[in-house]
Amino acid sequence: MDPLLEHNANISSIPKKNDETSFDRNGTNLFYYSTEQVPNYNGDSMEGISDKEIKEMQRRMRIGKANKGKTPWNKGKKHSAETREFIRKRTIEAMRHPKVRERLSQGFRGHSEESKARIGLALRRIWQERSRRKTLQNKCCLEWQQSIAEEARKGGHGQEELNWDSFEKLKEDIIRQQLQWAAEKEKAKKISIIRNEKMAKAKAEKMAMVVLVRQLREDRKAKARAEMKEAAEMRLMKKVNAEAISKELRLKVKLTKMHQKKLLGVESMSLESVVNGSETVAKKWDLDFIKREKMQRSVSLADQIRAAKNRKAKSVVHHPDDSFLNVSIEERLQT
């Protein structure tokens, strides 16, 4: 017998799963057998086994069936110090055997890649088949339950149809209504976004138009103010020129009168003629002054200058001594 097997048989004090082992009252191990090691232990062929071994096998089978489902007496217990020493000694003796050492030196030989592939393929096929069968069973059971429930709901001949699926129908209606509300809400949201965009665009265009109109209005007002300012300046200039001309005319008239008075003292014989002439000249100048004031608004500055020159020429012909006054008036008009 192999020493390693003999050693295992001697140290197997704790029963393994699927093993059927019995102990006597003192706790010593009896004749050890495993159901996997005994060929055809429940079959018809029992050749090569003695009657004593057969009886022991049957006894152990009866003990195993009787103890099935019970907790072993040594579960959770540890070996005693004597047992551990005994196991250590027998292990050392077994390790000294040359066959055992040779077997241990060879080490573990794992599966090849082909064997692993075959094993994996077989396991996948097995689990796929199990999954398919389980799915079919569940589906068949569910269909069977649904068919029974439907027939029970409809009832037989003369029985009232039940409405126990009203809650599910109501739930479906509620879900459908919620989906419809969500769609309407989303649609209203999109419409409001489009409306807000249009309103913002219209508001921007309106604001741009208001700014443009305001700018045009400001430009028109600025232009009107500039025109009014220019017209006021022109009126002021005309007024100043008219006042200057009127002052010159009044001064000329006054000087003319003074000159006439001097002439009256020198030439007493021609007093009446001189007085009449001065009065005529004064009246003429007064009429000219009134006409000028009336014509200033309609006659341009060039026409006024031309008229002043004409008057100067006439006054030189009648009164040569008053030429210096006409020159001063012409210079004032030119300035």
pLDDT, position 4: 43
Structure confidence at residue 267 (pLDDT): 56
Section 132-158 average pLDDT:
88
Ranges 5-9, 51-55, 188-192, 290-294: which has the least confidence: 5-9
Taking only the tens place, the pLDDT of each residue in 301-317 is 667 777 777 777 776 54
Q: What are phi and psi of 29, to 5 degrees?
A: -80, 130
Average pLDDT, the chain: 75
**pLDDT category of residue 232 using cuts at 50, 70 and 90:** confident
Domain ranges of the chain: 3-106, 114-154, 170-334
Give the dihedral sign, CA 265/267/272/274: negative
What is the amino acid identity at position 143? E
**Dist. CA 181–CA 185, nearest whole Å:** 6
User: Residue 328 contacts by C-beta under 8 Å, 6 or more apart in sequence?
Assistant: 248
pLDDT for residue 323 = 47
195-218 pLDDT, tens per residue? Answer: 999 999 999 999 999 999 999 999
User: Distance between CA atoms of 116 and 329, rounded to whole angstroms?
Assistant: 136
State pLDDT tens for residues 52-91: 999 999 999 999 899 888 888 888 889 999 999 999 999 9
Decide if pLDDT at 261 tops 90.
no
- Taking the C-alpha atoms of residue 8 and residue 272, their distance in angstroms, rounded to an integer, is 185
- Position 167 confidence tier, pLDDT thresholds 50, 70, 90: confident
Does the pLDDT value for residue 21 go beyond 60?
no
Where are the alpha helices (H) located in the chain, listed in sequence order? 3-11, 51-66, 81-95, 98-106, 113-154, 166-266, 271-295, 301-318, 323-334
Q: Are 296 and 244 in contact (CB under 8 A)?
A: no
Q: Is the pTM of this model over 0.75?
A: no
Question: Looking at residues 34-63, what average pLDDT do you find?
Answer: 69
pLDDT value of residue 48:
65
**pLDDT beyond 50 at 35:** no
pLDDT value at 137 more than 80: yes
